[in-house]
Structure 1
């Protein structure tokens, strides 16, 4: 069948809106009519680096309605409303441990731009188009996905908002609630006030953190951080000596730090902000070859931990429903971060997000 998709054809070129062919779902596959899809920094990193060779369709925060299911699919049926998250195998030791983000086949299932057998689900005439990004490639009106990717969305929840729960919101909130498991009364430094960072702020409020400090260059995002529960919002221009700025607030340092930026110099400086036995959790994408931050003897002396985090260490089948319930209770108002754009306006949306005019873009296909 024909679908409309935002196609990446060169690292620095704009996305182009094109008509493609999508495969019929195989026995283990699900065809979803996409209603909305979040725009994540990871999509743009993969495009800019050609990690998946173009032409390619990205998008990994989709939500929509199931239109077709393969014969082996039992979890969902046609007509079900679903959020689409990352893919995992469900069989390896990490999946069985409830840590699907560390699935032994995570790279192959999510980052290869094709099915494990090498085939692609999208085509432009005789040209194959890289697909199956995070098991979905949802910058399109339809996508092929899998049982491990989908989580049902209740009828009373806005379907177009559900997609970011599958990655950005779950990474930020889950990083604080699951990975770092911040203790009530503790202190936290969040580096970056984008969608992931502000989701971390909301997660910290839920956890009962006493001091929540956000470092963010955009004034409007700093204001929003304070509205969402941060106790301090720092401008990096004024807080050039980050350890000194933090220790003016907390002389002993912070119990936890959470990086969403991937900036090597900032990561290194953050180690000087940690209290004894403090932990730095990292979700930001750093340049290749970036060393682990910190001085080894300081890490040993103060018992510091540097922790890599993927997808907030979340089990989506459990955590996405939890986040939906927290949203219902008014405790996770992530909709305050969202600005919607038509899928056709993806390039304008990217520019606006980059310029700080919005926090979290959700692209709408007009198919609800």
Structure 2
């Protein structure tokens, strides 16, 4: 079928909206009409080739839409179902079978390989093939073929124009807190970075019952907004040493901490801000090969634990419905992080995300 897609062609270059040809879904796929798709930092860094996904490519990995066709081997879905799309995973490796599909041993190939496992691609135009199946979905297209195992069926009344970011950015921040850090009620949590992932982590910490929630950033407006959403303390790390500030606020260190920036000096600050036997997590993406300072001499005696977390270590079919339920109950207002853009304005959405004007852009088709 013919459809339209936003195609990444080169680093630091605007996406091109093109008429493209979409092939038929394979036996293990769904063909989905995309209603909306979030714009994530990962889309930008892949466009810019931090990760070597073959270009030209249709990116997008926070899609939500309506099933239009179902592959012959797919069970549990029918045309007309509303779905939120998560990452692809094999479902057969030891990590998938252990309930950690976001650490699938085939995760990189299935999500960043530029096509199906057999090398075929869903999209083409007069110039040739275009990379597809980004995070199993390539949701910057009006129609796309997705890996069925990554799709999550949602209720018929679900607001698809809002829910796409639950498939990555919002799931990443909230999942790192709820699934990995698991703060206890009454505990202390520090979050480094007040982008959409950091704010989602903060909202999750509040929902979990943490009573000291410290947000760290260098943008005063973002810090003020974090207070509106429930942060108990904010630290401007351009003006104040965040490690000293956190230790003063908590009386010696924070029990749980989350680094959403992927910036090496910030990661170091996060490790040093932890209390004895504290637990810190990193979700911020950095260029491959990036190294961060880690004071193993001083920190050995602290007993801290550091986790590297992908996609919130979530099982999307279980976790996304939980987030939807929390949002419906009013305890996880992630909608306050979002702003909608028309498909034709997708490059403005990328720009607004990069300069911080918008925390979580959502492209509405």
What TM-score, normalized to structure 2?
0.97
Q: Is the CA contact 2:277–2:302 (under 8 Å) kept in the aligned structure 1?
A: yes
State the match for 2:141 in structure 1.
Answer: 140
Residue of structure 2 equivalent to 1:90? 91
Distance 1:98 1:289 in 2: 28
Confirm or deny: 8 A CA contact 2:193 2:217 kept in the other structure. yes
Distance 2:10 2:18 in 1: 14
- On the 8 A contact 1:299/1:305 being kept in 2, the answer is no
Say yes or no: does 1:10 pair with 2:10.
Answer: yes
Q: What's the counterpart of residue 112 of structure 1?
A: 113
Look up the match of 1:305: 305
Tell me the distance in 2 between the aligned counterparts of 1:254 and 1:95.
32
1:236 is matched with which residue? Answer: 237
Contact residue 75 and residue 147 of structure 1 kept, 8 A: no
Name the counterpart of 2:72.
71
Give every structure 1 segment of 4 or more consecutive aligned residues whose post-TM-superposition deviation is greater than 3 Å: none
Number of residue equivalences: 364
CA contact (8 A) 2:63 2:84 kept: yes
Cα drift, residue 354 of structure 1: 2.0
Note the C-alpha offset of 1:293.
4.1
CA offset at residue 215 of structure 1? 1.1
What TM-score results when the alignment is normalised by the length of structure 1? 0.96
User: Would the aligned equivalents of 1:113 and 1:120 in 2 still touch at CA under 8 Å?
Assistant: yes
Number of the residue aligned with 1:294:
294
2: distance between equivalents of 1:246 and 1:133? Answer: 38
1:261 and 2:255 correspond = no
What is the DSSP-based 3-state SS (H/G/I as helix, E as strand, rest coil) of the residue aligned with 1:6?
strand
Could you tell me how far 1:126 is from its partner in structure 2?
5.0
C-alpha distance in 2, partners of 1:179/1:296?
22
RMSD: 1.3
- In the TM superposition, residue 355 of structure 1 has moved relative to its aligned partner by 2.2
Of 79-88 and 90-99, more deviation after overlay is shown by 90-99
What residue is the counterpart of 1:184 in the other structure?
Answer: 185
More deviation, 297-306/185-194: 297-306
* Offset of residue 78 of structure 1: 0.4
SS for the counterpart of 1:247 is helix
Report how far residue 258 of structure 1 moved. 0.2
Q: SS of the residue aligned with 1:162? A: helix
* Post-superposition CA distance 1:290-345 (Å, at most 9, x none): 33542223332110111100111111111111111101100111111110001111
Q: For the structure 1 residues 9 and 134, does the alpha-carbon distance in structure 2 shift closer, same or farther, using more than 3 Å as the test?
A: same
Unaligned runs of 5+ in 2: none
Greater CA drift, 93-102 or 218-227: 218-227
- Structure-2 residue corresponding to 1:270: 270
